[in-house]
Amino acid sequence: MAPEIPKEQWAQVIDKTGGEITYKKIPVGKPGPDEVLVNIKYSGVCHTDLHAWQGDWPLATKMPLVGGHEGAGVVVARGELVKDVEIGDHVGVKWLNGSCLACDFCQESDEPLCPKAQLSGYTVDGTFQQYCIGKAAHVARIPKDLPLDAIAPVLCAGITVYKGLKESGAKPGQWVAIVGAGGGLGSLAQQYAKAMGLRIIGIDTGDEKKELCLNSLGSEKFVDFAKSSNVVKDVQAATPDGLGPHAVLLVAVSEKPFQQAAEYVRPRGTVVCIGLPAGAYLKAPIFESVVKMISIKGSYVGNRKDSAEAIDFFARGLINAPFQTVGLSELNMVYDKMRKGAIAGRYVLDTSK
């Protein structure tokens, strides 16, 4: 029997950049021919959602906007062209809501680079609502035995850090520094890195995050950036030979660490930039960059294959990152904490509350 779809639903809506966020009832959308309608059960809150609301980036959002892009739920309707997603399937609505599937980038499976990419919670309405539309080709397939609350953060944070670790080229047994380790992306990055056989230096601040990184998430060393008088020296000293980590994954939301990483990365090492602090610039000393032969690159979410692989790591029980669940109505509280850097791990919103 086809599930009953209400005409109205609860959503968190903004009408202007930086303006009030209103928890209210809005109409439920209808999926187009190549789309599915997903009854979102849980949605993670990514720092990207806060950037979108604040207007931090040189890319306009749609308005009014429903944010969110870590949505896990159940397919309740599909367009007439959709053949490979069934009503009742569990799926994830990711940052990449859709892409053209025809351009050079899409053909090369670099669909995040598609010039026509549609972004959930940014250029199309996202997952901070009970019913969200996604392109069928791009919704992530979630096995039915997996918990939809715990998997929600994998749909952006997990996929992104898994891709970033692959892009780093770090091999099992090598060291990776995760900068912003106690946050949403950082906590998942440690779990993926550990599962991939890497050794981890967590960099963040505060005892709560330190303990989490060292005791639960997989870091062997921790550098508190606020307490350290010389982060560069301390990160290098954290590797047994003092030459620094083979890779650096930058998931912090501040400019300074982006200007330090090239100094402590090991010769031949790779710095992977993932965090997107507003108006920030990268900086690296040319002399050391050349004579150390370092690589600096950006990494942006992941393609459909990366997404399926990241979910598979979770399905095999390798990914256990902390999350706290609150109602969809509490988004403002989550943003307040996020702005202060006061969230260890991720918040997940339950759309039924």
Question: Contact positions toward ligand NAD, by CB under 6 A?
Answer: 46-48, 51, 156, 160, 179-180, 182-186, 203-205, 225, 251-254, 256-257, 274-276, 299-301, 338, 341, 343
Return the residue of 100, 195, 232, 326 that touches Zn ion, per CB under 5 A. Answer: 100
Task: Report in angstroms how near the CB of residue 337 gets to Zn ion at its nearest.
Answer: 16
Nearest-angstrom CA–CA distance, 341 and 319? 23
- Ranges of H-type helices in 19-144: 47-54, 104-107
Residue 13's binding partner among ligand NAD, Zn ion, none (Cβ under 5 to 8 angstroms by kind) is none
Contact status: 114 vs Zn ion (CB under 5 A): yes
What is the residue whose two structure tokens read 């109409």?
A: 27
In whole angstroms, the minimum distance from the beta carbon of 51 to ligand NAD comes to: 5
Residues 20-49 within binding reach of Zn ion (CB under 5 A): 46, 48
* Helix H or strand E segment including 347: strand 346-350
From 53-61, 108-116, 241-249, 281-289, span contacting Zn ion (CB under 5 A)? 108-116
Structural contact between residues 201 and 238, judged by C-beta atoms closer than 8 angstroms: yes
> In this structure, are residues 277 and 256 in contact, taking their beta carbons and an 8 Å threshold?
no
**Cα 343 from Cα 184, distance rounded (Å):** 8
Look at residues 88, 9, 106 and name the one whose alpha carbon lies nearest to residue 305. 106
254 binding partner (options Zn ion, ligand NAD, none; Cβ < 5 to 8 Å by kind): ligand NAD
Is residue 99 near Zn ion by the rule CB under 5 A? yes
Q: How far is the CB of 5 from Zn ion (least distance, A)?
A: 27
Q: Which residue lies nearer to Zn ion by CB, 5 or 60? A: 60
Antiparallel, parallel or unpaired: β 219-224 and 199-204: parallel
Q: Cα separation of 65 and 217, whole Å? A: 34
Q: Can residue 137 be called a binding residue for Zn ion (CB under 5 A)?
A: no
Q: Torsions phi, psi of 32, nearest 5?
A: -75, 180
Is 40 or 294 the residue whose CB approaches Zn ion more closely? 40
Measured from each CB, the residue nearest to ligand NAD is: 183
Name the pairing type of β-strands 175-179 and 199-204.
parallel
- Among Zn ion, ligand NAD, none, what does residue 114 contact (CB within 5–8 Å per kind)? Zn ion
Nearest 5°: the CA angle 151, 153, 157 is: 130
**Residue 103's binding partner out of Zn ion, ligand NAD, none, with CB under 5 to 8 Å set by partner kind:** Zn ion
Nearer to ligand NAD, 269 or 275 (CB): 275
3-class DSSP assignment, residue 57: coil
Is residue 274 close enough to count as binding Zn ion by CB under 5 A? no
The residues binding Zn ion (CB under 5 A) are 46, 48, 99-100, 103, 106, 114, 156
